[in-house]
Amino acid sequence: MSLQIYNTETRQKETFKPIVPGKVGIYVCGVTVYDYCHIGHARVMVVFDTVVRHMRARGLEVKYVRNITDIDDKIINRAFENQESVQSLTERFIKAMHEDETALNILRPDIEPKATDFIPEIQQLVNTLIEKGHAYAAPNGDVYFKVKSFESYGRLSGKKQEDLEAGARVEINPNKQDPMDFVLWKASKENEPAWDSAWGQGRPGWHIECSAMSGSCIGERLDIHGGGMDLQFPHHENEIAQSECAHGEHYVNTWMHVGFVRVDNEKMSKSLNNFFTIREVLKDYHPEVIRYFLLSSHYRSPLNYTIENLDIAKTNLARLYTALQAAEPGLVAENTDFEAKFNEAMDDDFNTPQAMAVLFELVKEVNKTQQPGLVALLQSLANRLGLLTETPQSFFKSQVGQTDGLTDDAIEALIVERTQARADKNWARSDEIRDELLAKGVELLDGKEGTSWRRS
C-alpha cells in the first residue's frame, strides 16, 4: 500500500508523492518560547516525530525542519514582566523545551531555525512582496500584506473573504488600507528589540517568519507543512498568501494539522485553570506512558486528557513491556503478517491506534510462542512509535507510583531477606514481605534467574 495522507487543503486522503522522488521536506511550526511547553505542544512534537520515524523506516530520505519563534509580543511582554532580557528568556525556555523533548524520546529536527537568525531573509521576502504589489509600507513604519491581492485567500480554512472582511471591520486600524490586511513587519516601540530596515527600526510579524524560514531551509515548495489545528487560520492561511505571491507557485503539497488536546472534554486553557505543562505531567507519569497516551488517538482527532486515560495508557504500555520478558530478543522476524499490518496502519494517514492494535496482536503471539524473533519484532515496531526503548526491568523500576517512600535499595534489601526466608522455608515471612511490598506499590516477579520487581 502506498502512503496516504489527509490533506487539510483538499479535505481528503491523497497518495503521497514527494516533489523529488525518495526525498521529503517537512516544515512544522514550532513553539513560541516564552513559557514551558504544555501537553498540546507535546502532542504536535510527538506526532511529527512519529511521522518522520515511519517515513524513514519506509526508506524515504527526510529533511525535517521545525522552527522556534523567539521574537513576539508575548515574549517581549513576559521578559518585561520578569525584568529580564528577551534573549535570556528565550534561551531559558529553549533549553527547557529540549529537556522535555529528550524526556519524551522526541528526536531533534534536522534543522531548528530561530526567527531572529533569519532577519535578512525575512526583510528580503517583505521587500519582494512590496515590489510585486502585494504589500505596502504604512506611515507608522509597519508593513502590511494586501489580502485582496491574493484571490484564493481562505482556501485552506474554507473561509470566504466577504465573511472575513465583515469580521475584520470590528478592529479599526488607521494604518491599514483594508481591515483584512495583516502585518509583515512591525515598527518597534521604545525599549523593544529592533532591527534596521528600509521601513525603519522594527521586527518581523509572526506569519512572515515561517515563509522565510521554510523557503530558506527547504525551498519555495514544501512536500509537507504541519502544525496544530489552531494554526490553520490565520497563520497558515497567511503563509500561503505570502509565499505564493512572492514566488508564484504552489507553496505546500500536503497540509497536516494535529487535533486539539482537551481536558475532561473542555478546551485546555490557562483561564480555565486546566493547563498542564509537560514537566508537570512527568512528575506523575513515566515519559513513555505520556508518549503512548499522545499516540493513542488518531492525530487529527481531539485527544481527551484525563487521569483515567493516562492510567489506561500506563496499563497498556506495561502489557507491552511484560511481553518483552517472555524471551531474550533474537534476530528480528522478517516478512511477517504483523509487520505488514503495522505498515498498512501507518501508511493509512499514520493511524497510530491501529498500529498499536497490531502490537497487541503480536503480544498474544509472543506470549503463546515466546519466539525470540517475534520479541525482537515487537520491540522494533514499537520503536517506530518511540516506545519500548528501555529494558522491562528498567521501565518497571522507574514507574512513578505510590511506594511510600521506598527507595530501590530498600526494596532490594527486602528481596534479599525474602530470598533467605524462602531458602529457610519460612514461607510465612516470604509471603509477608511480598504482601508488604505489593501494598506499597511494588510487584515481585519470581523467575529462573531470581526475583525482579516493578512499581505497579
- In terms of phi and psi (left: phi > 0; alpha: psi -120 to 50; beta: otherwise), the region of 408 is alpha
Place of cell 531551509: 217
Asked if 40 contacts 228 with a C-beta cutoff of 8 angstroms, the reply is yes
Asked if 116 contacts 123 with a C-beta cutoff of 8 angstroms, the reply is no
Residues contacting residue 300 through CB under 8 Å, at least 6 positions apart: 6, 257, 258, 259, 349
Q: How many CA atoms lie within 13 A of 418 on its CB side?
A: 21
How far is 134 from 211, CA to CA, in rounded Å? 15
The beta-strand segments (E) located in 182-265 are: 182-187, 202-204, 222-228, 252-258, 261-263
- Which among 110, 454, 103 is positioned nearest to 294, based on CA atoms? 103
210 in a known ligand binding site: yes
Sheet order of strands, 182-187 included: 135-137, 143-145, 182-187, 202-204
239 in a known ligand binding site: yes
Q: Which grid coordinates belong to 188?
A: 518597534
Q: Contacts by 403-409 with C-beta closer than 8 Å and gap 24+?
A: 403/440, 403/441, 403/442, 403/455, 404/440, 404/441, 406/437, 406/440, 406/442
29 in a known ligand binding site: yes
Residues contacting residue 257 through CB under 8 Å, at least 6 positions apart: 8, 226, 227, 228, 229, 231, 232, 300
- Which among 249, 134, 121 is positioned nearest to 181, based on CA atoms? 134
Which alpha helices (H) appear in 140-227, and where do they start and end? Answer: 161-168, 206-217
Asked if 251 contacts 276 with a C-beta cutoff of 8 angstroms, the reply is no
How far is 427 from 423, CA to CA, in rounded Å? 9
- Which among 287, 381, 368 is positioned nearest to 323, based on CA atoms? 368
- Coil vs helix vs strand at 68: strand
Q: Which grid coordinates belong to 295?
A: 499516540
Distance of CA 61 to the CA centre of its chain: 20
Question: What dihedral do alpha carbons 54, 56, 60, 64 form, nearest 10°?
Answer: 100
Q: Give the annotated binding-site residues for ATP.
A: 270
Q: Give the annotated binding-site residues for Zn(2+).
A: 29, 210, 235, 239
Q: Give the annotated binding-site residues.
A: 29, 210, 235, 239, 270
